[in-house]
Amino acid sequence: MAAIEAFAFDTHYFFLTFLVTCAVQYTCFAIAYGLQFDKITDLSGASNFVINIIIPLILANTYFERQVLVTVFIVVTRLYLAGFLFYRVLQRKSDTRFDTFRSNFLYYFGFWTGQILWCWGSTLNGIFVVSEKENPSLGPTDFIGIVLFALGFICQVVSDVQKYIFRANPANRGIPCTTGLWAYSRHPNYFGEMVIWWAIFLMSARAIHESTDTWGWATVVSPIWTMILLLFLSGIPYAEGANLKRYFENPTSRPMIEAYQRDVSPVIPMPQVVYRNLPMIVKQVFLFEFPMYEYHYVPPDSTAAQAAAANGGAGNPIELSNTSAEREALIQA
């Protein structure tokens, strides 16, 4: 009890959950670094979401309808994510994302510090709701949020399963997944994740509006932070950009990835015929088609590549391929 009273100033348990998140993640960092394995990395991250929601719910001890719904939604999605990612890393034996810095203490420590910001920052909105003392009745924003949550979660699960099945087929080795939901979005799983957290925010809107703590609106940072992570940091940039090199350097998959990048929306699912014919400015401003997702392919027999080879590899010759300008030209052709 004394420990709880020490956090009396922390009415919504933000500071407490931050300390808990630090304890969980740095403990897992010590294990992962010491044993040099990746089995618990994603598992600890997804599980931390559950911890961050359960603790304030229990301490608040109110269990309002909205609080229970938000808790169930977050717990279900994170347990699914933890289970799926844990199963996947067991199948793969390791996570290649960490191959370049797993043994570097500072870099690896930095990654786990970033995971703290992911786990805690993304749950701030949920933490506020489950610890809020006001209990306004469910309204239109709640029901819209429930529907959006269902759509986002279904999109996430279906796309994950579709890609896993696609990758499990040896015949698909070395080619991009372009079937199912992946025919309408290059990253439908990330789209589902973004929708989930905007849905949680909508479900919290009425409680925030009625709360005496008007700063509750600041927890809109949760869905925004999720979007920043997926769009600019650890999500799509990791999957696209320079990471498309393996597809472009393979003569078999190169035409496929060029058409896929040109015709399929990066995030928001839509028919290819619609996306293909949109002006590039519309794609970049409204549909998240950022230049950082492009890959600049230099054919080995190109003049630029030969000049670079003659110069001992110096310089940075770039023969634009799969760029915004080229996509526009291909569409107009």
Between helices 105-131 and 65-92, what is the axis angle to 10°?
160
- Locate 184 and state its tokens: 């309408």
Of 239, 267, 302, the one marking the end of a domain is 239
pTM for the whole structure: 0.87
Can you give the pLDDT at residue 129? 96
Kindly report, residue by residue over 319-328, the tens digit of the pLDDT: 444 555 555 5
Domain that holds residue 271: 246-332
Kindly report, residue by residue over 244-272, the tens digit of the pLDDT: 888 998 888 999 999 999 999 999 999 99
Of 196, 220, 239, the one marking the end of a domain is 239
Between helices 105-131 and 41-60, what is the axis angle to 10°?
30
Kindly report, residue by residue over 283-318, the tens digit of the pLDDT: 999 999 999 998 887 776 666 555 555 555 544 444
CB-neighbour burial class of residue 199 (10 A; exposed 0-12, middle 13-18, buried 19+):
buried
268: left (phi over 0), alpha (psi -120 to 50) or beta: beta
Phi, psi of 185 (to 5 degrees): -150, 140
Higher pLDDT: 219 or 298? It is 219
Nearest to 44 by CA among 58, 33, 60: 33
For residues 95 and 36, what is the distance between their CA atoms, to the nearest angstrom? 11
Q: What contacts 24+ positions apart, CB below 8 Å, involve 249-253? A: 249/297, 250/174, 250/175, 252/174, 252/175, 253/174, 253/175, 253/176
* 180 shares a domain with 311: no
Contact 189, 160 (CB under 8 A): yes
* 132 shares a domain with 41: yes
* 229 shares a domain with 326: no
Can you give the pLDDT at residue 2? 46
Q: How many other CB atoms are found less than 10 A from the CB of residue 176?
A: 20
Domain count along the chain: 2
Can you give the pLDDT at residue 11? 87
The one-letter amino acid code at 62 reads: T
Nearest to 181 by CA among 195, 168, 194, 162: 162
* 176 shares a domain with 139: yes
For residues 166 and 198, what is the distance between their CA atoms, to the nearest angstrom? 29
DSSP state of 9: T
* 226 shares a domain with 264: no
* 258 shares a domain with 206: no
pLDDT band at 223 (very low <50, low <70, confident <90, very high): very high
* 325 shares a domain with 210: no
Q: How many other CB atoms are found less than 10 A from the CB of residue 215?
A: 10
Kindly report, residue by residue over 62-74, the tens digit of the pLDDT: 999 999 999 999 9
Of 189, 206, 239, the one marking the end of a domain is 239
* 255 shares a domain with 228: no
* 176 shares a domain with 119: yes
* 201 shares a domain with 122: yes
* 261 shares a domain with 118: no
- Locate 14 and state its tokens: 């933000």
Phi, psi of 265 (to 5 degrees): -60, 140
* 147 shares a domain with 210: yes
Q: What is the DSSP string of 191-251?
A: HHHHHHHHHHHHHHHHHHHHSS-GGGGGGGHHHHHHHHIIIIISSHHHHSGGGGHHHHTST
Q: Sign of dihedral through CA atoms 190, 192, 195, 201?
A: negative
